[in-house]
């Protein structure tokens, strides 16, 4: 691992070095890269054997926006350079790769006007022309990384042609390949994930739910299984003494080798899924934060049902929103059991607050919906991460600011406030 640690040093310097390299005006080489907006329509003439290389970063999409073209991301230049060098090994790829990008970091409306999108992060996925996921990597790939992603994608495409009607057979074939590429610890996690897939196929609670939501719930269970294996892996490889040091780990994840084994392990269970649906929960698994994109150019908010609901209540009544936590946190029970037992005995604990909020205009929202609301209704910036993750948000008529109720707070004062408004 000495060689890996040397390359990690380069990755750690990437954030400061890339300002000049990412936005250089130098020629892009023999096959210039043109960045498109994520999930743009692909013409039928380009669909055969076309691969879509999609880059998702935690750049703040609200700050710099162009409705017609994709904006440069912090790592665009490095990926372009790696691709040009990869063409020297694989000239057959020329003209067969479409580049797309998506900035999905938290906007300052949700971070108390602070830039929380550091260290810079990136996820690179390769899809077919129908946006079915073929391979995935975390971090900024070098030449070898680009080639590995493409080769993995082409391998999956071949297996799909061999098993066009059986997702289970495809999963088994890829799982067998992944077992050969991973250590015993990861192999155990693979076996556990296969059990999750098998039990999920027969789970009665999924029978009435949409396929998308069932897949996301299943992804949460898979991610929970992989998390322990991944943390044990990085502790051993990078001598992490405190796994709560998410900042250091995020810096390490700028290099693709850090999460490579995780990507190999999870790929069989997310392969060929609709990436237009799955990119959000997959990103949450890696970043532990929900992604937010700029939807202004794509939607007419005057017709948005959520905004109509908000406007009908917020002028005359207290409104309470429950903020959906990231996917791994959603796997944990809420309200927490026994955390504030004394407060519960006094009737001012989380269970009591949860029963009370539904007596007001109440709604569950995700981070994207909250960000859109903050921007469109020009509400003052709030911090949904500090001092603890936001669980509820409270708004009173005439105010310009949402009150954050964090998971680490005692809910007693908010219980009294809500009761007085009833």
**Adjacent-strand bridge partners of 36:** 100
CB-based contact 394:403 (threshold 8 Å) = yes
Distance CA 11, CA 3 (A): 13
CB-based contact 308:319 (threshold 8 Å) = no
**CATH 1.10.30 assigned to 301-419:** no
pLDDT at 22: 40
The tens digit of pLDDT for each residue in 149-189 reads 999 999 999 999 988 778 888 999 999 999 999 988 898 89
Give the pLDDT band of residue 245 (cuts 50, 70, 90).
Answer: confident
pLDDT at 390: 96
H/E element, 138:
strand 133-138
Q: Which residues contact 418 (CB under 8 A, 6 or more apart)?
A: 318, 320, 353, 356, 357, 359, 360, 394
Sign of the torsion formed by the C-alpha atoms of 80, 41, 220 and 136: negative
Assess whether pLDDT exceeds 50 at residue 275: yes
Assess whether pLDDT exceeds 90 at residue 372: yes
pLDDT at 297: 53
pLDDT at 1: 39
User: What is the SS3 assignment for 356?
Assistant: helix
3-state DSSP helix/strand/coil % of the chain, to nearest 5: 50, 15, 40
Assess whether pLDDT exceeds 80 at residue 264: yes
pLDDT at 183: 86
Structure tokens at 247: 């900042």
CB-based contact 190:175 (threshold 8 Å) = yes
Distance CA 38, CA 34 (A): 12
pLDDT at 140: 98
Distance CA 206, CA 190 (A): 22
Phi and psi, residue 288, nearest 5°: 65, 15
DSSP assignment of 299-338 equals --GGG-HHHHHHHHHHTTS-EEEEEPPPHHHHTS-SSPSS
The tens digit of pLDDT for each residue in 381-407 reads 999 999 999 999 999 999 999 999 999
| CA dihedral angle for residue 87, residue 89, residue 92, residue 95, rounded to 10 degrees | -10
H/E element, 171:
helix 167-181
Structure tokens at 348: 């001012």
Asked if the peptide bond before residue 335 counts as cis, ω within 30 degrees of 0, the response is yes
**Adjacent-strand bridge partners of 330:** none
CB-based contact 313:319 (threshold 8 Å) = yes
H/E element, 404:
strand 403-406
User: What is the SS3 assignment for 256?
Assistant: coil
CB-based contact 4:252 (threshold 8 Å) = no
Residues in the chain: 422
- How does DSSP classify residue 105? P
How far is the first Cα of the chain from the last one, in angstroms, to the nearest whole number? Answer: 62
List the domain boundaries for the chain.
35-200+209-287, 301-419
In degrees, rounded to 5, the angle at the alpha carbon of residue 112 between the alpha carbons of residues 110 and 116 is 75
CB-based contact 296:63 (threshold 8 Å) = no
In this structure, of 36-50, 312-326, 362-376, the range with the lowest mean pLDDT score is 36-50
């Amino acid at each position: 691992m000495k060689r890996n640690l040397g390359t990690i040093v380069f990755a750690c310097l990437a954030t400061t070095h890339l300002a000049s390299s990412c936005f250089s005006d130098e020629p892009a080489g023999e096959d210039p890269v043109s960045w498109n907006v994520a999930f743009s329509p692909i013409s039928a003439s380009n669909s055969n054997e076309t691969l879509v290389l999609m880059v998702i970063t935690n750049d703040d999409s609200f700050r710099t926006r162009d409705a017609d073209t994709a904006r440069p991301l912090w790592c665009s230049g490095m990926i372009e350079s790696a691709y040009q060098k990869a063409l020297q090994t694989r000239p057959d790829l020329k003209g067969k790769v479409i580049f797309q990008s998506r900035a999905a970091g938290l906007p300052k409306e949700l971070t108390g006007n602070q830039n929380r999108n550091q260290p810079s992060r990136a996820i690179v996925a390769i899809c077919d022309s129908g946006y079915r996921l073929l391979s995935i990597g975390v971090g900024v790939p070098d030449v070898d990384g680009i080639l590995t992603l493409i080769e993995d994608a082409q391998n999956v495409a071949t297996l799909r042609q061999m098993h066009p009607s059986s997702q289970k057979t495809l999963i088994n074939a890829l799982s067998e390949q992944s077992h050969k590429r991973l250590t015993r610890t990861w192999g155990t996690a693979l076996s556990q994930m296969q059990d999750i897939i098998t039990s999920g196929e027969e789970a009665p609670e999924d029978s009435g739910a949409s396929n998308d939501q069932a897949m996301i719930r299943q992804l949460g269970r898979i991610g929970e299984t992989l998390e322990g294996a991944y943390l044990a892996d990085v502790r051993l490889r990078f001598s992490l003494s405190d796994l709560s040091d998410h900042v250091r780990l995020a810096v390490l994840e700028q290099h693709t080798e850090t999460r490579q084994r995780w990507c190999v392990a999870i790929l069989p269970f997310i392969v060929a899924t609709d990436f237009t649906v799955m990119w959000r929960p997959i990103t949450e698994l890696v970043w532990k934060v929900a992604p937010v994109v700029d939807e202004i150019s794509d939607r007419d908010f005057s017709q948005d049902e959520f905004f109509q609901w908000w406007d009908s209540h917020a002028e005359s009544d207290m409104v309470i929103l429950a903020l959906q936590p990231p996917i791994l946190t959603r796997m944990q029970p809420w309200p927490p059991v026994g955390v504030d037992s004394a407060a519960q005995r006094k009737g001012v604990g989380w269970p009591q607050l949860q029963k009370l909020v539904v007596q007001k205009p109440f709604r569950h929202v995700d981070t994207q919906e909250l960000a859109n609301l903050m921007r469109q209704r020009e509400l003052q910036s709030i911090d949904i991460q500090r001092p603890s993750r936001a669980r509820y948000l409270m708004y009173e008529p005439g105010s310009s600011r949402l009150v954050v109720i964090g998971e680490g707070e005692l809910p007693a004062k908010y219980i009294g406030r809500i009761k007085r408004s009833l």
